[in-house]
Chains A and B, each alone.
Chain A
Amino acid sequence: MLSRRMLLLGGGTLALSVVFAVTGQLGDTADVDASAGDRDSEFTYRGRRVRLRESRTMVMAGISGRGEVHIERPTANRFYSHLVPFQEFGSSRQLVTTLIDLEDAHLVAL
């Protein structure tokens, strides 16, 4: 079982892969990892370049150089955004990829 500390500290690709496998959110869209340390990371999803800057209580997600999305972090492995406010996510990355899916469905503009 993954520890909260493992997720808090990034945990590496293995930990994230397990979370995504459990939640099944990433689907079949290819992503490219470019980890930039324990608290910062970057990846590409559906043509958007995403940069995550994580702290203990929040995450700021920059998406293709546009306005940043503020993500709340009630606990180490629970993430929440008012843009998709009726659920929590197991990782900030999972949340951001969901937001990008919602933008592609014309439900929100990022």
Chain B
Amino acid sequence: MAARLRENILTMSLGAVSAVTAAFNSLKLNGSYDGFVRRHMDAMMVPTPPGSQSNAAHRGPIFLPWHRAALWELETLLIQADPSIAGLPYWRWEVEGALNAGRPQNSRFWTADYVGTDGDSAQGNRVLNGPFKDWQATIYDNGSRSYTTRSTAGLVRRLGRDPSGSPNLPDQAQVTDALSYTKYDVSPYQYDTNGFRGRIEGWAGGPRMHNLVHRWVGGDMLSGTSPNDPVFWLHHCNVDRLWWSWQTRSTPLRPYAPISPDGPIGQRSGDQLTGLLGTSWTAAAVQDIRNAATLGYSFH
């Protein structure tokens, strides 16, 4: 397996960006992309352990490993679609406010050359330009517990202006705060316990960090089917970069917590990750997915 390199999308050539977005479109066309949307939503609905406030992918220590595994799976399919792709890019959202005079929606990230613009308020906040303009989202139907396809094209975005979202993106100060926590998570390992994971997911001292980015983008990024918008993956790739930065602040790597057999079942280092694509190349347990170097990728 060739080494993968994950880069800041805004430092990549437009040709390289176009290769990535074309690969996203290939996965959307062959149906594999929507499988990622469904698995993310399904994982939301599996209390882990049963009866707790955490689920198989969120609101607990498992949050970072589960998304690292999902990113790795998607990245693998993107590279299979186009072997010229070095790796999944990341969107460094924490600097966008400072780089754009407090108006992160003015970043060139939100242009047709990258991921498309903000939604058009005159057209239901649909994004009708850029590489994903023809996408029809996968919608969860709570009444029938099933999935449907949105009848019309266009992702929904409301950058910083969704009444159900947030007007603010997290900034470097929030990143610095999260990185200052030396424990990955702390007992009793609830969704809002005050360790690195609780701060970066955004419940502890929140709303902040990961949660706040979803809410700032708004629209499709607000719901459990948030992977409908490919920005989801660039956002989570940045979260994964920050976790790796935190992990590598000591040698050996700063450890995950809880370490089996302590901690809630399903959230411990030796527990099986569930609700993923689950191919033969997907790591099986939390402790297997925690080392980016072993998984064959690095960040630039």
A residues lining the B interface (CB < 8 Å): 25, 27, 66-67, 69, 72, 74, 80, 82-87, 98, 101-102, 105-110
A66 to B145, CA, bound (A): 12
Smallest CB gap from B139: residue in A: A109
Picked from A27, A82, A109, the residue with its CB within 8 Å of the CB of B143 is A109
Query: Given A80-B53, A85-B44, A106-B124, do A69 and B223 touch, yes or no (CB 8 Å)?
Result: no
**Residues of A contacting B150 with CB < 8 Å?**
106
Which of B125, B140, B207, B214 has a CB less than 8 Å from the CB of A108? B140
The winner among A80, A86, A102 for most chain B CB atoms within 10 A is A86
Contacts between the two chains (Cβ within 8 Å), count: 80
* Chain B residues with CB below 8 A from A82, complex form: 41, 44-45, 55, 224
Cβ of B187 under 8 Å from chain A? no
A101 with B164, Cβ < 8 A, contacts A67-B143, A67-B144, A108-B225 known: yes
21 pairs from A and B in contact (CB 8 Å cutoff): A25-B163, A27-B163, A67-B144, A74-B53, A74-B192, A83-B223, A84-B224, A86-B211, A87-B207, A98-B164, A101-B163, A102-B164, A102-B222, A102-B223, A105-B125, A106-B124, A107-B137, A107-B156, A108-B139, A109-B140, A109-B141
Mostly, the B contact residues are loop
Residues of A within 8 A of B30 (CB): none
Min CB–CB distance A63 → chain B (angstroms): 9
Given A74-B192, A82-B41, A106-B152, output 12 extra A-B contacts at Cβ < 8 Å: A67-B142, A67-B145, A82-B55, A84-B223, A87-B211, A98-B164, A101-B164, A102-B223, A105-B219, A107-B139, A107-B222, A108-B225
B236 within 8 A of A: no
Contact across chains for A106 and B156 when beta carbons are under 8 A apart: yes
B202 at the interface (CB under 8 A from A): yes
Q: Is B215 an interface residue (CB 8 A)?
A: yes
Cβ of B220 under 8 Å from chain A: yes
Count of chain B residues with a beta carbon within 8 Å of a chain A beta carbon: 37
Selected from B148, B219, B224, the residue in CB contact (under 8 A) with A109 is B148
Whole-angstrom distance between the Cβ of B210 and the nearest chain A Cβ: 8
Q: Which of B58, B142, B152 has the most CB of A within 10 A?
A: B142
Closest 4 CB pairs of A and B: A67-B143, A82-B44, A109-B141, A86-B214
Cβ-closest chain A residue relative to B119: A105
Bound form: Cα–Cα A74–B206 in Å = 15
Interface centre among A25, A80, A101, A109 (most CB of B within 10 A): A109
Q: Which residue in chain A gives the minimum CB-CB distance to B151? A: A106
